[in-house]
Structure 1
Amino acid sequence: MPEKQKAFTEEMYCVLEVNETHRARTGVSTAEQKFRWRETFEIDIQHATHTNFSHKLCHKGSLKLLEAFVVDRLNGNRMFALNLEPKGQLIVKIAFHNVAAAFRRIVNCRYDGLFGIPLQRLVAREGRETPLILSRLLQEIEHRGIDYSGLYILCGSLEKKRVLREELELNVERARLSVEAVPDTNVLACLVKDFLRELPEPLISTSIYSMIVEAFSVALPNDPQGNRRLLLRVIDCLPAPNKNTLIQIMDHLKLVMSSEQHNGITAARLTGIFGCLLFCSCNAPTESGSTQGQVSSIYPPKTVVNPLDTDQAAQTLRLLVDIWPSRVNGSDSSSSGSASNSTDVTSTINPVSESQC
């Protein structure tokens, strides 16, 4: 940077945007530090809107990711010297992973781990209905307030996320998640997404995914209650840990969307983020014959789903969100409301046992 400009530019940070959407922000660096940032972010490049800068814009530069990675069919790391306007240059390293690479679900070989562990094994080990790590993260996010702008859209620092992840792996019950220990809520939100993305099998298996899509295709526009019962009967075919965890996730998503006027998060944006986390996988369906038989005995599968189609996953989750009961009435978002919603959904599902599917 020219010496003349250093005189009035004492502190700067980098804002990362995708499709003109603010997705991440580095910490502040100074002229004495030679404006060096050593921070890494993992960003999914889907769905965006415009952003506003709260501080003075000193330099800007852009890179066409489509030309840099997709056209040449490149994966992995690439280094770029990004020319800035009105002057300057920023050295950045970008790694691109396509959908198949991002959702290559594998089992974590560490038996006592939290990420990449089969859901049934994890909840059985903890003696809980849903994973403790997921419950703690969601509770802390909700405790801080769902009015937080950019929740699940902005990305936390990879280094800070790694530190918290190691602390959770060490002791999930005692890991500190408070604002004092983890000031950036985006770090918590990123770990929620990582947990769902790294499950060895998607939370909603491909066979159940197909049946959900089929159920929506035969839904009657003048019978919303009947449509809901039909859909929940399909969801009831999920294993109990998956079903309980799905209820927890859906409950949380409905709560986040209830504050759209404050956090700016629309249903389309949130389902675009979580749809692929719940449905997508590059692995071929591995459901046991018994599970497939359970599903087929209710509704024979007719609709073919593509487990790597992120748009189809987002659309399916959007339909699911639209029929899912909300835990809030107006501005009421108390914990009692959460309990009543879970009870309502569970009681609706329970009349059809897994053995009857």
Structure 2
Amino acid sequence: PLVIKKCVSEVEDRGLSVVGIYRLCGSAYRKKDLRDEFEIDSIRTDISADKYPDINVITGVLKDFLRELPEPLFSPALSDIVCAKPCDKEPEEMLQCLGAVQKLTLGYLLDHLKRVAANSSVNKMDYNNLAVCFGPVLCSPPQGS
């Protein structure tokens, strides 16, 4: 989805050195404004530093978008496989329970989070801290349940 691509790109351009990136969510008003813009025209939505100087607004919108997906990226089926016997299967084999779009999106997001963690000496967001921020977002129950 374009929302994910734009937000990830902006975070990588100007947020990888921000201490605690993804820990804060930014102004609720500014997040609503950005979400509305994405709904109206995601292609033309401007999320540059000129328009949204607080990177936490962008990270907050990204986490909200992921949390509100009709089906979480880390599906219950994948969770069951990982929790059952995680060391018995290769990562690619575990991902077979996901649809193509879910698999590509999850891979894209995890690659991004690896880049965030690679800068943990500066941003203090190692894998453990990212898991605290993204575990509930990626494994949240579908909306309306």
| Matching residue of 2:99 | 239
TM-score by length of 1: 0.39
The match for 2:58 is 188
Asked if 2 retains the 8 angstrom alpha-carbon contact of 1:167 and 1:175, the reply is yes
> 2:33 maps to what in 1?
163
Give RMSD over aligned pairs: 1.9
Contact 2:24 2:56 in 1 (8 A): yes
Q: Which one has more relative contact order, counting CA pairs under 8 Å at least 6 apart?
A: 2
Match of 1:53 in 2: none
Q: Give the 3-state SS of the residue equivalent to 1:250 in structure 2.
A: helix
Displacement after TM superposition at 1:282 (Å): 7.0
Map 1:254-333 → 2, pairs under 5 A: 254-281=114-141
Distance 2:141 2:39 in 1: 24
Distance 2:13 2:23 in 1: 18
Output one character per residue of 1:92-147: Cα deviation in whole Å (capped at 9) or x when no partner. Answer: xxxxxxxxxxxxxxxxxxxxxxxxxxxxxxxxxxxxxxx01110110011011401
The correspondence for 2:16, drawn from 123, 140, 146, is 146
Identity %: 35
**Which has the higher Rg, Structure 1 or Structure 2?**
1
Measured in 2, the distance between the counterparts of 1:166 and 1:249 equals 22
> Which amino acid letter does the alignment assign opposite residue 168 of structure 1?
F
Instruction: Tell me the SS of whatever aligns to 1:201.
Output: coil
Residue 174 of structure 1 is matched in structure 2 by 44
Aligned residue type for 1:214 = A
Count the aligned residue pairs: 145
Deviations 1:159-199 (A, max 9, x none): 01111111111110111111001100000000110011101
The answer to whether structure 1 residue 250 and structure 2 residue 110 are counterparts is: yes
Return the TM-score normalized by structure 2: 0.92
Q: 2:97, 2:141 → 1: CA distance? A: 19
CA distance in 1, matches of 2:15, 2:54: 13
Whether contact under 8 Å (1:141, 1:185) holds in the other structure is yes
Aligned ranges for residues 1-357 of structure 1 at < 5 Å? Answer: 131-216=1-86, 219=87, 230-281=90-141
CA distance in 1, matches of 2:119, 2:91: 26
Task: Tell me the distance in 1 between the aligned counterparts of 2:44 and 2:4.
Answer: 14
Task: Kindly report structure 1 stretches of 4+ aligned residues shifted beyond 6 Å.
Answer: none
AA aligned to 1:267 is Y
Q: Please, which runs of 5 or more residues in structure 2 have no aligned partner?
A: none
Give, in whole Å, the separation in 2 of the partners of 1:195 and 1:164: 11
* Aligned amino acid, residue 43 of structure 2: E
- Structure 1: runs of 5+ lacking an equivalent: 1-130, 220-226, 286-357
